[in-house]
Amino acid sequence: MQYYVYAHTEIGNTRENNEDTLVVGENLIINGSESTSCDAPFITAVCDGVGGENGGEIASFFVAKRLSECNKSEVSELKDEIIQIHRDLVDYGNENYEYFGLQTTMCCLKVCENGKLYCLNTGDSRLYLYKNKKARQISKDHSYVMELYEKGKIKKSELKNHPQKNIITSSVGNPYKLPKVDVCVVSECFCEGCVVVLCSDGVSDFVGEREIEAAMELEVSFDEKIHALSQLALERGSTDNVSVIGVKLN
């Protein structure tokens, strides 16, 4: 099966550099947009350098580059490969002390030859599935506020605007603990009309399921629909880098 992928990343409203790196098959995108067709199997991913840590853009590029070399890997192998990428990134930080502690989130879509789609995620970059005109978040945020919510200490309505919502609890590169890598099925069968959207928190903090549904109903090209999500985040005041990827059947 062949898939169409549109990916966009940019610095945004206030940042001095872009700490996001996108993966589309074997290609890496560090600024701007790219449209391409991909034959399964392939990987596409958003890596968002952890803000406030040394070398966030180096961490995201390091992990994205290694992921781009895993396109042919089986899902059963990918989690172990991500853990190895983590260890190698930690080693890089130890060997280059000015970058000690460099970290990144990672949200990856693995498209298999049989049409089955998987999400592999650590951190708070997200993956959504749009199907039958409804969007829902598939990935689970690894964040402090999500832990508070799961323990019943805050309400779901408090997640979006909680003052500590940007504290993540898992990442690739943390020198003190292994990342928690969730692996889940996105879709058993990717059909016509389905869309997968991946994005960094610079987008998801300002754009959610309802906005994805509205964008998919716009009478514009697929590229423009996906790009509109990043622009809406900026219009709503995103102060982070903005990155978004859309995937559909070609």
Average pLDDT, the chain: 94
pLDDT value at position 158?
Answer: 80
What is the spatial distance between Cα 180 and Cα 216, in angstroms, rounded to a whole number? Answer: 32
pLDDT value at position 193?
Answer: 93
The predicted-structure confidence for 137-156, as pLDDT tens digits, reads as follows: 999 999 888 888 888 888 77
What is the spatial distance between Cα 166 and Cα 150, in angstroms, rounded to a whole number? Answer: 16
Average pLDDT on 202-218 reads 97
- In contact, 198 and 244? CB cutoff 8 Å: yes
Query: DSSP for 79-100?
Result: HHHHHHHHHHHHHHHHHSGGGT
Is the pLDDT assigned to residue 5 strictly greater than 80? yes
Q: Which residues pair with 108 in a beta bridge?
A: 45, 120
The predicted-structure confidence for 45-68, as pLDDT tens digits, reads as follows: 999 999 766 799 999 999 999 999
Residue 222: exposure state from Cβ atoms within 10 A (0-12, 13-18, ≥19): middle
CA nearest neighbour of 75 among 101, 113, 46, 106: 113
In the chain, % of residues over pLDDT 70: 99
The gap from C-alpha 79 to its chain's centroid, in whole angstroms, comes to 16
